[in-house]
């Protein structure tokens, strides 16, 4: 270090701070660990030799201070002290992961990696973002040492903020108040928690802070006199027993006093519990509870207690390990005084959290610290039942929530398993409706089904031609996304029903049949739809052959007219009926049946490869249906005894199957030519019919073809979908 700092005074200051760290680490480090700490210190000195704090002090003061807080005020050991010394150098890249692994091992490297991740996080300055940021901090830090070192890092920053800008002071103070102080509270680090709150108030409510400090100084003599008068008779009584004890007084934190003034709307002079008396016993572990209750008896014999204010955290400690016996009594001049009774061990646990537990077991190995850290994680992940813990800070969501960022740094919270589409809908409903995918961390392209991971930066890609489908409901997790998708589908169904009504009305008019509510009711009932809205929507989507509706509504005897009007239907049915099973080399009906006639149903047009079943009809043999056929649910639920197993077999002949595909796109003359060109170039596809329905802007075509199997059909659909101007290609159910 001598060659790095030319100022002898500065060298002495650095060495003195290092010695202070060693004193704070006394009892926590063996000789080997001390040597490793020295190495870490020297590496940090070299890494920061050219850096200064805002105050002008050498930057090495900061990691030294953090390490000292970690050792003395939190009580951590070797791994945390080394990580504290190196965390800034590791973050800036002055020290590599390879160096850390070689010199100090993987556990230290993991802690440093966690600290680096937290340093890279972005967050906004408001309570909601801080609540999310706090949970994210927990979810990405595999070792709770990361959180504890970060709390120490923040404490040192808050202690040295006099030299930074007012804007930065305010921002850091708010962040500390909403994030780090509650974390310290939950971990049982009450002294650190109180100091963080006071320092936050110092820079956000400066005038009130100065006012209370001034009042506390002015009233100190009066307060000390009252405390002495209160303590004297208790001390005299306890001295007559065999108990070993000490009595302290503790003034409330500035923030606690200010909060009480705000909540009770009273001036400083009317905050009567400005202090508490603490009686600390030097007890053997086996006698702790009995001796605490003996002291309670002495106090309540002298002063009248308020039974409603008794808090017994000795019999049932808080989940963060806090043990103490609290009572509030009427002291001299009728003033209420809080008295806290605890042992040395309980006091250290109360001051330093779980870090004190392992000290009293007489074991100083790092492995014991690991057990303590597991207890801390239990505290963080278990819902807190006590009214005295800040309920709003719900830190028990470690494995249930995912936290990701927008490109601008806003933090978003989602249930575990949420997808990019959930994220898109959280941004805006229109963004969700038009979402076609996105990017993760500005590099990886993903689909709308991509599951979010902690810490990801998400960028959404949209296309105005994209719209929600019912399939989206199968993979979104958030209620916001589900509600919007359902709303869109309902609105789409209403519009489809409107179009379907126009189509049906026009066709009925051609058939000289009057459209009426009664006709609509009968048709809805016949096709077993839940509502006329569903029926009309199915009409718009070509899910019901219109000519079958005419058969239901009229019994015309004019064969010529019937033949002309049913010509289109005959074209379709002839394709299917030509596949009547005169041979069974491509389909097997049940294992126990042979030489059975069957037909492929025209309502769903099965193709080899579809998931199918057979249905025994009355007078027409067995008909083969797809499981996603519109009529399948009714047949399977109401006539299960007429359902037989049907499976495809490898065909020895060039069998082809009829199906219809629907094409929607821009209305230009070239689309039909491109479609027919694709089909004609495929020798295995037979084009049977091509129907077009278009307006000035949109082209809608229905193509009847014969294909070998579903893979062949999917290939044709993909080829057609790739044509410029085609928006959607789908297989028609009927």
Q: Where are the domains of the chain?
A: 8-189, 214-352, 401-477, 486-557, 568-648, 657-731
Q: Please give the pLDDT value at position 123.
A: 46
DSSP summary character for residue 622: E
SS3 category, 625? strand
The structure tokens listed for 171 are 């921002």
Q: Please give the pLDDT value at position 686.
A: 81
Q: What are the tens digits of pLDDT across the range 532-569?
A: 888 888 888 888 888 788 777 774 334 333 443 344 34
The residue length of the chain stands at 734
Query: How many CB atoms are closer than 10 A to CB 297?
Result: 11
Q: What are the tens digits of pLDDT across the range 305-321?
A: 888 889 999 988 876 67
SS3 category, 21? helix
Percent of the chain with pLDDT over 90: 31
- What is the architecture of the domain spanning 8-189? Orthogonal Bundle (1.10)
In terms of pLDDT, which residue wins out, 648 or 424? 424
Asked if the model's pLDDT at residue 57 lies above 80, the reply is: yes
Which CATH code, of 3.60.15.10, 3.40.50.720, 3.90.190.20, 3.30.460.10, is assigned to 214-352? 3.30.460.10
CATH class of 401-477: alpha beta
- CATH fold of the domain at 657-731: Alpha-Beta Plaits (3.30.70)
**Helix, strand, coil abundance in the chain, percent, nearest 5:** 50, 15, 30
What H or E segment, with its residue span, contains residue 562? helix 559-565
User: In angstroms, how far is CA 660 from the centroid of its own chain?
Assistant: 43
Q: Please give the pLDDT value at position 150.
A: 93
Contacts for 109 with CB less than 8 Å, ≥ 6 apart: 97, 100, 101
SS3 category, 147? helix
Helices 206-218 and 190-204 pack at an angle, to 10 degrees, of 120
SS3 category, 663? strand
Q: How far apart are CA 202 and CA 102, in angstroms?
A: 43
Long-range contacts for 228-231 (Cβ within 8 Å, ≥24 apart)? 229/332, 230/277, 230/331, 230/332, 230/337, 231/277
What H or E segment, with its residue span, contains residue 613? strand 612-616
Q: What are the tens digits of pLDDT across the range 382-434?
A: 433 322 322 333 333 334 677 788 887 677 888 889 999 999 999 999 999 99
Whether 661 contacts 717, CB under 8 Å: yes
The structure tokens listed for 444 are 């990886």
Q: How far apart are CA 87 and CA 119, in angstroms?
A: 10
Helices 710-721 and 669-681 pack at an angle, to 10 degrees, of 150
The structure tokens listed for 693 are 């329905």
Q: How far apart are CA 702 and CA 665, in angstroms?
A: 12
Strand partners, 706: 658, 686
Asked if domains 8-189 and 657-731 share a fold, the reply is: no
Rg of the chain over Cα atoms, rounded to whole angstroms, equals 39
> Phi and psi dihedrals of 676, rounded to 5?
-65, -30
Q: What are the tens digits of pLDDT across the range 20-29?
A: 999 998 888 8
Helices 190-204 and 166-175 pack at an angle, to 10 degrees, of 140
């Amino acid at each position: 270090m001598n060659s790095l700092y030319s100022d002898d005074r500065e060298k002495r200051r650095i060495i003195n701070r290092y010695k202070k760290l060693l004193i704070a680490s006394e009892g926590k480090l063996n000789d080997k660990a001390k040597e490793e700490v020295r190495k870490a210190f020297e590496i940090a000195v070299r890494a920061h030799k050219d850096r200064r704090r805002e105050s002008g002090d050498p930057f090495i003061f900061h990691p030294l201070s953090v390490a000292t807080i970690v050792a003395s005020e939190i009580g951590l050991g070797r791994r945390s002290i080394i990580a504290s010394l190196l965390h800034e150098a590791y973050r800036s890249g002055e020290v590599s992961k390879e160096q850390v692994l070689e010199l100090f091992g993987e556990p230290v490297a993991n802690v440093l990696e966690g600290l680096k991740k937290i340093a890279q996080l972005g967050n906004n300055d408001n309570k909601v973002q801080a609540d999310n940021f706090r949970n994210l901090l927990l979810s990405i830090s595999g070792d709770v040492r990361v959180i504890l070192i970060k709390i120490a890092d923040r404490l040192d920053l808050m202690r040295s903020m006099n030299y930074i800008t007012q804007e930065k002071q305010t921002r850091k103070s708010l962040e500390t108040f909403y994030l780090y102080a509650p974390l310290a509270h939950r971990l049982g680090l009450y002294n650190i928690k109180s100091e963080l709150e006071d320092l936050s108030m110092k820079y956000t409510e400066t005038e009130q802070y100065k006012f209370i400090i001034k009042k506390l100084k002015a009233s100190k003599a009066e307060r000390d006199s009252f405390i002495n008068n209160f303590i004297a008779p208790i001390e005299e009584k306890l001295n007559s027993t065999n108990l070993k004890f000490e009595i302290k007084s503790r003034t409330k934190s500035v923030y606690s006093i200010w909060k009480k003034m705000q909540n009770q709307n009273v001036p400083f002079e009317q905050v009567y519990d400005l202090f508490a008396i603490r009686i600390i016993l030097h007890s053997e572990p086996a006698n702790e509870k009995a001796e605490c209750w003996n002291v309670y008896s002495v106090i309540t014999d002298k002063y009248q207690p308020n039974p409603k204010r008794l808090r017994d955290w000795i019999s049932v400690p808080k989940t963060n390990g806090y043990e103490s016996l609290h009572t509030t009594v009427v002291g001299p001049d009728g003033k209420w005084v809080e008295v806290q009774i605890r042992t040395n061990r309980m006091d250290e646990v109360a001051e330093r959290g779980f870090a004190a537990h392992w000290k009293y077991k007489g074991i100083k190995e790092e492995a014991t610290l690991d057990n303590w850290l597991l207890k801390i994680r239990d505290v963080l992940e278990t819902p807190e039942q006590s009214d005295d813990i800040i309920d709003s800070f719900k830190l028990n969501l470690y494995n249930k929530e995912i936290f990701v960022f927008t490109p601008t740094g806003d933090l978003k919270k989602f249930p575990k398993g949420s997808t990019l589409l959930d994220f898109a809908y959280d941004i805006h409903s229109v963004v969700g409706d038009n979402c076609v995918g996105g990017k993760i961390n500005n590099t990886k392209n993903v689909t709308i089904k991509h599951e979010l991971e902690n810490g990801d930066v998400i960028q959404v890609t949209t296309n105005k031609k994209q719209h929600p489908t019912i399939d989206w409901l199968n993979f979104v997790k958030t209620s916001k996304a589900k509600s919007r998708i359902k709303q869109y589908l309902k609105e789409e169904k209403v519009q489809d029903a409107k179009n379907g009504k126009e189509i049906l009305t026009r066709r009925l008019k051609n058939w000289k049949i009057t459209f009426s509510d009664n006709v609509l009711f009968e048709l809805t009932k016949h096709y077993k739809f839940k509502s006329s809205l569903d029926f009309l929507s199915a009409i718009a989507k070509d899910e019901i052959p219109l000519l079958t509706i005419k058969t239901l509504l009229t019994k015309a005897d004019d064969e010529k007219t019937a033949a002309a009007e049913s010509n289109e239907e005959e074209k379709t049915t002839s394709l299917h009926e030509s596949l009547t099973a005169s041979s069974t080399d491509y389909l097997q009906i049940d294992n126990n049946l042979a030489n059975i006639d069957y037909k492929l149903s025209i309502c769903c047009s099965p193709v080899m490869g579809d998931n199918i079943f057979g249905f025994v009809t009355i007078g027409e043999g067995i008909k083969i249906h797809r499981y996603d056929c519109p009529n399948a649910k009714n047949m399977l639920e109401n006539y299960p005894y007429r359902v037989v197993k049907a499976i495809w077999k490898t065909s020895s002949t060039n069998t082809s199957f009829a199906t219809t595909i629907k094409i929607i796109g821009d209305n230009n003359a070239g689309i039909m030519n491109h479609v027919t060109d694709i089909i004609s170039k495929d020798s295995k596809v037979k084009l049977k019919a091509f129907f077009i329905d278009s307006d000035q802007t949109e082209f809608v075509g229905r193509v009847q073809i014969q294909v070998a199997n579903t893979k062949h059909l999917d290939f044709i659909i993909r080829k057609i979908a790739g044509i410029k101007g085609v928006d959607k290609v789908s297989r028609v159910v009927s």
